[in-house]
């Protein structure tokens, strides 16, 4: 039965995003007209990006920028470079950003961007030319009051610096607030690089409290070792957790006694891979999702936990550092099993929250100390967790649906008050 359901399972991320939205809309009794408005992306831009490669030839890449909703403020969302980027994926990510911003109560709508490319096979110069041309192509629809990009998969603060500079050159003046996640020297915010993981840590502590568990001594598995995965690994270790499994895109590592996270970070930095690290067992990446652990942190890409492997997941608490790592079918299994799942639109919202703080600082040319950033983030994440938990209890449903009910209601109210123009 499980095999048949797994075979029929919907894996298109935008269709999944609409399912999640409609489940909350059912609880809120939203009418069909409002549903149509809220689940439809406001604007979708597809661009061709000609790039002169180091060998002298010109390759044309395809890029996207989607603005899902701006009822509560300008669009906000990352840009990812990946060979498997699709328009539907970007639409899903943009919609998740809408609900994420509403969940934590910051005045943004949802946006997202992506370019179909393999950054691991491109030189730094090629990536710079790609980034600058992409920025130029999406320039008409982005800006501090329109749509503010940020880093995502395989993009970073250098990518944002190139975009900021390109847009500034086009407009004839420096626009610090056109992107977030920038270097500190260009109007970036202290605390931004660790913000996604730190926000997750704050919600994870709350989840442990609700479940009567302690993070100290808990066995943690982390699927994905990019910026968020690497940062959360040393944060939970600092809280006393035992990290028993990690993985990057190539290999997984397992140690029942716990992995030395500082050594793993050093090894990854020196070799660009977790492979070959001494004193641990190498396992396939996807086995990290199913090792015996108390807490699982999916930190890679969407659709990591599906009906095909959900039955093997042993964690009691799951906090989604990645966007969309769990399918609706797997969600239902976790709810039936009593697994406490902190959904992506709450668990990884620390990144966009500190991006908001960065944008506020850029707009006012007044910058905050790191302690203020982290303290303000903790207050925001704890408040968001409590609101989601209370909503889930009030509607007698799971945390994901609780988060969506809270977020959709906030965006629906803003839409009702604004009205439909003309």
Which structural domains are found in the chain, ordered by start?
42-176 (3.40.50.10860), 195-347 (3.40.50.720)
Catalytic residue set: 112
Is 80 exceeded by the pLDDT of residue 5? no
Say how many residues make up the chain: 422
**How much of the chain exceeds pLDDT 90, in percent?**
97
Banded pLDDT at 96 (limits 50, 70, 90): very high
pLDDT digits (tens, 9 = 90+) for 323-348: 999 999 999 999 999 999 999 999 99
Contact 264, 241 (CB under 8 A): no
- Looking at residue 3, its pLDDT comes to 47
Lowest mean pLDDT across 3-12, 227-236, 321-330, 398-407:
3-12
Residue of 154, 226, 148 whose CA lies nearest to 187? 148
Is 80 exceeded by the pLDDT of residue 28? yes
Residues 6+ apart with CB under 8 A from 391: 402, 403, 405, 406
Is 50 exceeded by the pLDDT of residue 355? yes
Is 70 exceeded by the pLDDT of residue 4? no
The residue-averaged pLDDT of 354-379 equals: 97
Q: Rounded to an integer, what distance in angstroms lies between the CA atom of residue 369 and that of residue 381? A: 19
The residue-averaged pLDDT of 79-84 equals: 97
- Looking at residue 211, its pLDDT comes to 97
The residue-averaged pLDDT of 264-284 equals: 94
- Looking at residue 140, its pLDDT comes to 97
What is the torsional sign of CA 175, 178, 184, 187? positive
Banded pLDDT at 301 (limits 50, 70, 90): confident
What is the torsional sign of CA 121, 126, 128, 130? negative
Within 13 Å and on the Cβ side, how many CA atoms surround 89?
Answer: 23
**How much of the chain exceeds pLDDT 70, in percent?**
98
Q: Three-state secondary structure along the chain?
A: CHHHHHHHCCCCHHHHHHHHHHHHHHHHCCCHHHHHHHHCCCEEEEEEEEEECCCCCEEEEEEEEEEEECCCCCEEEEEEEECCCCHHHHHHHHHHHHHHHHHHCCCCEEEEEEEECCHHHCCHHHHHHHHHHHHHHHHHHCECCCEEEEECCCCCHHHHHHHHHHHHHHHCCCCHHHCCCCCHHHCCCCCCCCHHHHHHHHHHHHHHHHHCCCCCCCEEEEECCCHHHHHHHHHHHHCCCEEEEEECCCCEEECCCCCCHHHHHHHHHHHCCCCCCCCCEEECHHHHHHCCCCEEEECCCCCCECCCCHHHCCCCEEECCCCCCECHHHHHHHHHHCCEEECHHHHCCHHHHHHHHHHHHHHHCCCCCHHHHHHHHHHHHHHHHHHHHHHHHHCCCCHHHHHHHHHHHHHHHHHHHHCCCC
Is 90 exceeded by the pLDDT of residue 409? yes
- Looking at residue 1, its pLDDT comes to 40
Residues 6+ apart with CB under 8 A from 197: 227, 228, 229, 231, 232, 235, 321, 350
Is 60 exceeded by the pLDDT of residue 123? yes
User: Helices 13-28 and 32-39 sit at what angle, rounded to 10 degrees?
Assistant: 150
Residues 6+ apart with CB under 8 A from 154: 80, 81, 82, 119, 120
């Amino acid at each position: 039965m499980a095999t048949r359901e797994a075979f029929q399972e919907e894996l298109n991320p935008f269709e999944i995003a609409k399912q999640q939205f409609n489940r909350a809309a059912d609880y809120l009794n939203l009418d069909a007209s409002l549903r149509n408005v809220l689940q439809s992306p406001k604007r979708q831009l597809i661009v061709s990006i000609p790039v002169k490669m180091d060998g002298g030839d010109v390759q044309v890449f395809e890029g996207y920028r989607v603005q899902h909703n701006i009822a509560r403020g300008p669009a906000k969302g990352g840009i990812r470079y990946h060979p498997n980027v699709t328009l539907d994926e970007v639409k899903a990510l943009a919609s998740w950003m809408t609900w994420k911003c509403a969940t934590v109560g910051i005045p943004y709508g949802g946006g997202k961007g992506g370019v179909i490319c393999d950054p691991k096979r491109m030189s730094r110069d090629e990536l710079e030319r790609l980034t600058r041309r992409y920025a130029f192509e999406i320039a008409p629809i982005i800006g501090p009051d329109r749509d503010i990009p940020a880093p995502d998969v395989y993009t970073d603060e250098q990518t944002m610096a190139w975009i900021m500079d390109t847009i500034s050159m086009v407009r004839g003046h420096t626009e610090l607030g056109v992107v977030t996640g920038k270097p500190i020297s260009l109007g970036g915010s202290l605390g931004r690089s660790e913000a996604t993981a730190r926000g997750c840590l704050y919600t994870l502590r709350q989840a442990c409290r609700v479940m009567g568990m302690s993070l100290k001594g808990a066995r943690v598995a982390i699927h994905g070792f990019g910026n968020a995965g690497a940062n959360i690994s040393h944060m939970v270790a600092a809280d006393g957790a035992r990290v028993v499994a990690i993985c990057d895109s190539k290999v997984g590592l397992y140690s029942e006694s716990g992995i030395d996270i500082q050594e793993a970070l050093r090894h990854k930095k020196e070799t660009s891979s977790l492979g070959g690290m001494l004193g641990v067992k190498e396992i396939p990446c996807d086995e990290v999702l199913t090792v015996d652990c108390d807490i699982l942190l999916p930190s890679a890409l969407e659709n990591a936990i599906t009906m095909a492997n959900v039955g093997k997941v042993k964690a009691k608490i799951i906090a989604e550092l990645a966007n969309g790592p769990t399918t609706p079918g797997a969600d239902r299994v976790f709810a039936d099993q009593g697994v406490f799942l902190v959904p992506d639109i709450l668990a990884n919202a620390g990144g966009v929250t500190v991006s908001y703080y960065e944008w506020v600082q850029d707009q006012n040319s007044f910058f905050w100390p790191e302690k203020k950033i982290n303290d303000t983030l903790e207050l925001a994440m704890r408040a968001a967790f409590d609101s989601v938990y209370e909503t889930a209890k009030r509607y007698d449903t799971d945390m994901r649906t609780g988060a969506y009910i809270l977020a959709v209601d906030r965006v629906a109210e803003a839409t009702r008050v604004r009205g439909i123009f003309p």
